[in-house]
Amino acid sequence: MSPARAFTSSTRPHRVVQWATGAIGRSVIRGVLDRDDMELAGAWVHTPAKAGVDAGVLAGRDPIGVTATGDAGDILDLDADCVIYAPSPAPDRFTELETVCRLLASGKNVISLNGFVYPQAHGPQYVNELEQACKRGGVSVHGSGISGGFMADLMPLMLARLSRRITHVYVREVSDFARHPSWQMVHHMLGFGKNEEAYLRALRPTRNAMRAVFSESLHLVAAGLGVDLDEIDVDVQHRLAGTDLTTAAGPVPRGTVAGARWTFSGLAAGRPVITLEVVHKADAARMGDEWGSPGYSLRVDGRPSLTLATDETWVSDAISAAAAHALNSVPVVCAAEPGIRTCLDLPMARGHMRI
Ligand SMILES: NC(=O)c1ccc[n+]([C@@H]2O[C@H](COP(=O)([O-])OP(=O)(O)OC[C@H]3O[C@@H](n4cnc5c(N)ncnc54)[C@H](OP(=O)(O)O)[C@@H]3O)[C@@H](O)[C@H]2O)c1
């Protein structure tokens, strides 16, 4: 078989549905339009004004004859192979679970940008509902993206292939929000620009949401290395702006919250074995080096120990990269046996060269 034939397991294009057309969703649609082994079967939108609009136009391209719908029923009724699931995060993971299970039960594989990289992290009830839905639809669910889905889990596991007697895995992710355009994200979700009292009041739901997302990556790394985590400790610290800062999304005045460091420690046999630090800065260039500069730092302690560090230029467009990871996973997910399929279960998803 030629390498090109081996690359696509299917003889006809995969029919892909995009669920939500935010930054990720629009990038996925453009990615589908640029590939001859995929076609867009449909698009679900949350914003009422987008319903009825051509999906190509929503993605900044010419019309393609696929009309976006706000009615989930239209998507459930479609004949399609796979849904790329990328809406704003739901208020709790069981709301997310319900939507994903409906899509699965309707016979569509789901590749999610919102978790599902290791659903086992949420316990047997969660797993059982997903497995039942996969069984009903004869399909699989898989989580993808960059973090989770790549830098916080898949990359450390790749690095760990080069080591033995591994004692600890460490990942640090530092993100700069100076150019992030969304006030919803910068102010409401991260809490930047809030006074300390308001920030601390909102911390409990944020803590639950952050734990839900990143516990999946920690449990995935642990499972990949053959250990069970007993628990995950979560610690969060914040910093106030020492001077007035201006982000693309809006102002972060002096004395309001401008940075946070989340530390997730996966414990086994009473000691941390996997540590993930997630650092958010409102304006990294003006906030100094405390907690590191933007980029990733990965370390596997073992024989030998390995480190891999990047600065913020490691990716020219993180949204495109997260979307591409999901799209490049479509062939292997669609070919998989039905069920929850993590990166530990699937053959390697590969990029797609166009000549
Ligand atoms: N794993 C990763 O590495 C990674 C990377 C980037 C993003 N993400 C996740 O992927 C998701 C999408 O990211 P994004 O950058 O595309 O965000 P975004 O630009 O804010 O788009 C989110 C879209 O969700 C829809 N939406 C808005 N409110 C909603 C609600 N209440 N219920 C359901 N849908 C709603 C809207 O779709 P319409 O415009 O179609 O109405 C909106 O455009 C987010 O959850 C984000 O956290 C993950």
Give the CATH number of the domain where residue 226 resides.
3.30.360
Mean pLDDT of 296-324: 97
Domain range enclosing 11: 3-146+319-340
Contact 112, 106 (CB under 8 A): no
Residue 38 pLDDT > 80? yes
* Residues 133 and 27 both lie in one domain: yes
- In this structure, are 111 and 163 located in the same domain? no
Provide the whole-model pTM: 0.94
Our mutation pick for probing the ligand 1 site, out of 26, 46, 189, counting the most ligand atoms within 8 A of Cβ, is 46
Dist. CA 52 → ligand 1 center (Å): 19
pLDDT (mean) for 105-116? 97
Helices (H), the chain: 3-7, 23-33, 55-58, 72-77, 93-105, 124-137, 154-160, 183, 196-201, 203-225, 318-328, 330-335
| pLDDT on residue 180 | 87
Radius of gyration of the chain (CA): 21
Residues 305-312 have a mean pLDDT of: 97
Residue 184 lies in a domain: yes
Q: For 222-232, what is the mean pLDDT?
A: 97
> Are residues 306 and 330 both part of a single domain?
no
Phi and psi (nearest 5°) for 149?
115, -20
Nearest CA to ligand 1 atom 30: 88
The conformational region for residue 263 under phi > 0 = left, psi -120 to 50 = alpha, else beta, is: beta
Collect all residues with Cβ–Cβ distance below 8 Å to 141 and sequence separation of at least 6.
Answer: 100, 104, 109, 110, 111, 112, 116, 119, 130, 133, 134, 339, 340, 341
**Ligand 1 pocket list (CB less than 6 A):** 20-25, 45-47, 50, 86-89, 113-114, 145-149, 182, 319, 322
Confidence class for position 6, pLDDT limits 50, 70, 90: very low
In the predicted structure, residue 208 carries a pLDDT above the cut 70: yes
Q: Per-residue pLDDT for 4 more than 50?
A: no
User: What pLDDT, on the 0 to 100 scale, is given for residue 2?
Assistant: 44
Q: What is the mean pLDDT of residues 204-228?
A: 94
Q: Is the pLDDT of residue 321 over 60?
A: yes
How many domains is the chain built from?
Answer: 2
The confidence score (pLDDT) of residue 242 equals 96
* 163 band by pLDDT with thresholds 50, 70 and 90: very high
Residue 10 has pLDDT above 80, yes or no: no
- Specify the CATH number for the domain of residue 72: 3.40.50.720
pLDDT band at 182, cuts 50/70/90? confident
- Higher local confidence (pLDDT), 1 or 354: 354
